[in-house]
Amino acid sequence: DTCPGDSGGPVYLLGDGEAPWLVGVTSRGVDNSDATCGDGGIYTYAPAYRGWIIDSAGGLFPPSDEPGAGGAGGQGGTGGDDFIDDDEGGGGDDGCSAAPNTPGSGWLAAISLLALRRRRRASAGAC
């Protein structure tokens, strides 16, 4: 289920008729595979980093209860409501499977803004 170029891509959990929830990030394919794609993958469990993402993002993401609104969690919000909490279903530290054809713009936007914020802080401190 993981192919070259998938690293950094989102792993979503799809519920019945619900918006997808971000539960992980693709790391890489499995080692010693005979196939280029499809023999499995290694994933990072995103909710384990929820606190760090919220702390690092500071006030960059306005609160929103509407999925898809463009925040740090899942596809929207402040990182609280759109993440699967550790004590709610959705897996554990052992990872989960990827949902095909699901956009990852919310996660990508969050990480991009964090990188930009750190770059600006580093530039301001260099003077």
User: What's the rounded Cα separation, in Å, for the pair 99 and 44?
Assistant: 15
Domain chopping of the chain, boundaries: 10-125
CA angle 113–21–44, rounded 5-degree value: 70
The chain-wide mean pLDDT, for the chain, equals: 65
Confirm if 54 and 115 have CB atoms less than 8 A apart.
Answer: no
Q: Using CA atoms of 51, 56, 62, 65 in order, give the dihedral in degrees to the nearest 10.
A: -20
Please compute the mean of the pLDDT values over residues 52-70 and round it to a whole number: 65
Confidence of residue 116 (pLDDT cuts 50, 70, 90): low
- Residue with more model confidence, 81 or 15: 15
Confirm if 94 and 26 have CB atoms less than 8 A apart.
Answer: no
Q: What is the pLDDT of residue 70?
A: 47
Beta strands per DSSP E along the chain: 10-13, 21-29, 41-45
Residue found by looking up tokens 């919000």 in the block = 77
Q: What is the pLDDT of residue 120?
A: 64
